[in-house]
């Protein structure tokens, strides 16, 4: 069926907050500078297993949180048809929960994947940066994704619980995109038409997220700190080679290979916190796993904390269509070892489920690369922090999302998601917040910039589709104009992108390669589907267009890119760019 094209309408003025500089520039690792920066960090568990003084809901015999049930088949978890006891809290929060089993359905793969235990903790991790004139929190949660404005849940609920006396000027929320955590969106329940969210648990999550932010922003949690910045990639850190693949080997076989990090060091020389930014789906355990885990980010953080001290906070980046090796492009990964092999690019036929030991090894490789890069990193003379924000609505065309919201799977805020905020004929109309955070040097020059994207941004959008588009199949090009590069518009030496921030609005696919699904159950095919495109890797063939079925629509790519350029001060470029003019409906 035909899918309506996407249109975006700004619904609020961009909010630009520019803080005065205090003099200075970026320094070398040996520079002796005094920073006005103070840093706080806090972690709060979100793990839905076992006793927790902050959890007042039911716990099943396996230790996993969820409504009490009669285990008729003795397999240790609830199955459809087994009797259960409705928890009134769930029904009070969401009347649709009456007569629906509420427990931990794992998100990210198929339906009815019920958790049987917890392997390691899920976290809300908050990092607060404060200068004399600005105080900003960055928050990361170990979920497949969140929304800001749910009916009874979401980051906006947590934001309302923040202690106003702490003086936070902005809170940048994000999710790691963990595929082994509870369903926080509603898409992975008992069946395709049954909400998988656990309302009682989501209420707990909102409280815990707020608790982490309040703890990190408290006056006694903030410490004077200097900043060390580092970037590495497979050309500099051989251990990173061959760890990324494209979903189904989708061309172009291009990634954001950078591993970026900021280390905040206290006056005593000890690490307060480390920010880590990498660009790969945390789904190394695939769909056979039923243990709650934060996947490889757990081992990255653990390794960095063991080596550098302090608290590590992991933020996912531009991971659209980018999977961890051994996923859906088996046999198509680049070499990892010097001899040209890749031990991770396989799945033994007798071992459908992938081992935690493998996940640990992958995480530790990335963690070690981050540590090594920071040990040779550059000390930044940070004088101030600025934060810019823009708000707009997007008129979405995805019929799956529209239907899911209509039948109550998503439970989105009726007012903020009202289609009245968008042009007539719009199916779903999400509100978007997009941020730019800048660490500024003494002369007012940007030292590090962090831009956000409201979903899973394809890496070629960050780097520029004009330079990094498909060349294997000219007939597949839709002729939509190439979106401008976000990264090229950034002026700092260190350029970060945080994805799924604050919302998970699905894949953000370049317009030139966007093929709308013909139905809610079918992926589109382009002119070269099934054809190989790299003689050195026969496994790399053109797949069907899976990602578009989980995207808001075609123009979200241009809108995300063009609003990012506006945040970065490139209004003239936006006004002249064909993709921006079309998507933003400029005259």
Confidence of residue 390 (pLDDT cuts 50, 70, 90): very high
Q: How far, in whole angstroms, is CA 529 from its chain's centroid?
A: 29
pLDDT (average), residues 215-219: 98
Between these two residues, 29 and 157, which has the higher pLDDT value?
157
SS3 550: helix
Q: Are 128 and 137 in contact (CB under 8 A)?
A: yes
Predicted confidence (pLDDT) per residue in 527-548, tens digit: 999 999 999 999 999 999 999 9
Predicted pLDDT of residue 2: 22
Predicted confidence (pLDDT) per residue in 45-58, tens digit: 999 999 999 999 99
Predicted pLDDT of residue 520: 83
Predicted pLDDT of residue 216: 98
Q: If you ran DSSP here, which 8-state letter would residue 84 be given? A: B
Q: How far apart are CA 120 and CA 301, in angstroms?
A: 12
Predicted pLDDT of residue 56: 97
Question: Which sign does the torsion angle of CA 581, 583, 584, 587 carry?
Answer: positive
Q: Are 386 and 17 in contact (CB under 8 A)?
A: yes
Predicted pLDDT of residue 129: 98
Average pLDDT score, the chain = 92
pLDDT-above-90 percentage for the chain: 86
Predicted pLDDT of residue 350: 57
Confidence of residue 425 (pLDDT cuts 50, 70, 90): confident
Q: How far apart are CA 120 and CA 140, in angstroms?
A: 16
Pull the structure tokens for residue 476: 């597949």
Predicted pLDDT of residue 92: 98
Predicted confidence (pLDDT) per residue in 111-120, tens digit: 999 999 999 9
What residue ranges do the domains of the chain occupy? 1-22+384-587, 40-221, 223-382
Confidence of residue 353 (pLDDT cuts 50, 70, 90): low
Does pLDDT of 478 surpass 80?
Answer: yes
Predicted pLDDT of residue 428: 85
Q: How far apart are CA 454 and CA 499, in angstroms?
A: 6
Residue closest to 301 by CA, chosen among 253, 246, 368 = 368
Does pLDDT of 171 surpass 90?
Answer: yes
Between these two residues, 422 and 312, which has the higher pLDDT value?
312
Q: If you ran DSSP here, which 8-state letter would residue 100 be given? A: S
Predicted pLDDT of residue 249: 98
Q: How far apart are CA 318 and CA 246, in angstroms?
A: 12
Pull the structure tokens for residue 344: 């991770």
Confidence of residue 451 (pLDDT cuts 50, 70, 90): very high
Predicted pLDDT of residue 424: 86
DSSP-assigned letters across all residues of 34-60: ----EEEEEEEE---BS--TT--S-B-
**Could you give the dihedral angle defined by the CA atoms of residues 124, 125, 129 and 133, in that order, rounded to the nearest 10 degrees?**
10
Pull the structure tokens for residue 35: 């920073």
Residue closest to 229 by CA, chosen among 444, 41, 386, 450 = 450
Q: What is this structure's pTM? A: 0.94
Q: How far, in whole angstroms, is CA 31 from its chain's centroid?
A: 34
Does pLDDT of 175 surpass 50?
Answer: yes
Confidence of residue 35 (pLDDT cuts 50, 70, 90): low
Q: How many C-beta atoms surround the C-beta of residue 95 within 10 A?
A: 9
Does pLDDT of 32 surpass 60?
Answer: no
Farthest-apart Cα atoms in the chain, separation: 70
Q: How far apart are CA 540 and CA 542, in angstroms?
A: 7
* Beta strands 123-130; 38-45: pairing state: antiparallel
Least reliable range by pLDDT among 198-212, 280-294, 342-356, 441-455: 342-356
Does pLDDT of 76 surpass 70?
Answer: yes
Pull the structure tokens for residue 22: 């205090």
Confidence of residue 396 (pLDDT cuts 50, 70, 90): confident
Predicted confidence (pLDDT) per residue in 261-284, tens digit: 999 999 999 999 999 999 999 999
Q: How far apart are CA 529 and CA 509, in angstroms?
A: 17
Alpha helix ranges (H) inside 199-355: 199-217, 296-308
Q: Are 126 and 135 in contact (CB under 8 A)?
A: no
Predicted pLDDT of residue 388: 98
Q: How far apart are CA 158 and CA 208, in angstroms?
A: 8
Between these two residues, 27 and 236, which has the higher pLDDT value?
236
Q: Are 558 and 483 in contact (CB under 8 A)?
A: yes
Predicted pLDDT of residue 351: 58
Say how many CA atoms lie within 13 Å of 160 toward its Cβ.
10
Exposed/middle/buried for residue 427 (C-beta within 10 Å: 0-12, 13-18, 19+): buried
pLDDT (average), residues 332-346: 95
Least reliable range by pLDDT among 99-103, 135-139, 291-295, 552-556: 552-556
Least reliable range by pLDDT among 9-23, 25-39, 237-251, 323-337: 9-23
Confidence of residue 526 (pLDDT cuts 50, 70, 90): very high
Q: How far apart are CA 584 and CA 570, in angstroms?
A: 14
Does pLDDT of 9 surpass 50?
Answer: no
Q: Are 439 and 227 in contact (CB under 8 A)?
A: yes
φ/ψ bin of 403: left (φ > 0), alpha (ψ from -120 to 50), beta (otherwise): alpha
Predicted pLDDT of residue 11: 35
pLDDT (average), residues 282-298: 96
Question: How many residues are recorded in the chain?
Answer: 587
Does pLDDT of 564 surpass 70?
Answer: yes
Predicted pLDDT of residue 411: 95
pLDDT (average), residues 511-531: 95
């Amino acid at each position: 069926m035909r899918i309506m094209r996407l249109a975006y309408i700004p619904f609020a003025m961009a909010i630009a907050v520019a803080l005065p500089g205090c003099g200075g520039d970026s320094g070398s690792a040996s520079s002796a500078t005094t920073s006005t920066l103070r840093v706080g960090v806090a972690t709060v568990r979100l793990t839905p297993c076992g006793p927790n003084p902050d959890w007042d809901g039911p716990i099943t015999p396996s230790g996993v949180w969820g409504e009490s049930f009669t285990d008729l088949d003795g397999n240790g978890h609830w199955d459809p048809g087994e009797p259960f006891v409705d928890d009134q809290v769930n029904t009070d929060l969401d009347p649709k929960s009456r007569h629906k089993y509420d427990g931990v359905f794992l998100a990210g793969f198929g339906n009815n994947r019920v958790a049987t235990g917890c392997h390691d903790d899920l976290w809300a991790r908050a990092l607060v940066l404060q200068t004399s004139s600005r105080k900003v929190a960055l928050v990361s949660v170990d979920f497949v994704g969140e929304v800001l404005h749910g009916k009874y849940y979401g980051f906006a609920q947590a934001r309302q619980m923040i202690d106003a006396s702490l003086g936070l000027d902005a809170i940048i929320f994000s999710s790691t995109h963990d595929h082994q955590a509870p369903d926080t969106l509603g898409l992975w329940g008992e069946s395709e038409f049954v909400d998988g969210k656990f309302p009682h648990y989501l209420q707990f999550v909102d409280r815990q997220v707020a608790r982490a932010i309040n703890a990190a922003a408290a006056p006694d949690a903030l410490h004077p700190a200097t900043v060390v910045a580092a970037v590495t990639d497979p050309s500099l850190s051989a251990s990173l080679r061959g760890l990324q693949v494209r979903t189904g080997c989708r061309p172009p076989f291009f990634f954001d290979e950078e591993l970026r990090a900021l280390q905040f060091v206290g006056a005593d020389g000890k690490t307060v916190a480390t920010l880590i930014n990498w660009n790969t789906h945390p789904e190394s355990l695939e769909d056979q796993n039923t243990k709650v885990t934060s996947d490889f980010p757990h081992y990255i953080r653990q390794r960095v904390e063991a080596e550098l001290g302090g608290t590590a906070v992991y933020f996912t980046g531009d991971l659209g269509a980018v999977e961890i090796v051994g996923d859906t492009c088996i046999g198509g990964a680049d070499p990892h070892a010097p001899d040209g092999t890749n031990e991770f690019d396989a799945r033994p036929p007798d071992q459908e489920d992938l081992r935690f030991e493998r996940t640990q090894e992958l995480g530790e490789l990335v963690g070690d690369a981050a540590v090594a890069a920071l040990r040779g990193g550059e000390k930044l003379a940070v004088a101030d922090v600025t934060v810019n924000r823009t708000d707009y609505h997007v008129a979405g065309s995805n019929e799956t999302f529209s239907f899911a919201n209509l039948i109550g799977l998503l439970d989105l805020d009726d007012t903020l998601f009202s289609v009245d905020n968008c042009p007539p004929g719009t199916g779903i109309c999400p509100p978007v917040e997009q941020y730019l955070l800048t660490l500024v040097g003494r002369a007012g020059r940007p030292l590090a910039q962090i831009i956000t994207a409201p979903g899973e941004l394809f890496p070629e959008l960050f780097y520029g589709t004009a330079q990094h588009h498909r060349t294997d199949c000219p007939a597949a090009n839709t002729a939509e104009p190439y979106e401008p590069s976000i990264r090229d518009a950034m002026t700092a030496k260190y350029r970060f992108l945080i994805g799924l921030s604050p919302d998970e609005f699905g894949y953000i696919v370049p317009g030139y390669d966007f093929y709308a699904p013909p139905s809610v159950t079918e992926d589109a095919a382009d002119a070269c589907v099934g054809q190989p495109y790299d003689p050195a890797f026969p496994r790399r063939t053109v797949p069907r267009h899976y990602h578009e079925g989980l995207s808001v629509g075609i123009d979200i790519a241009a809108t995300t890119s063009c609003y990012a350029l506006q945040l970065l001060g490139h209004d003239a470029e936006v006004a002249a760019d064909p993709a921006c003019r079309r998507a933003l409906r400029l005259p």
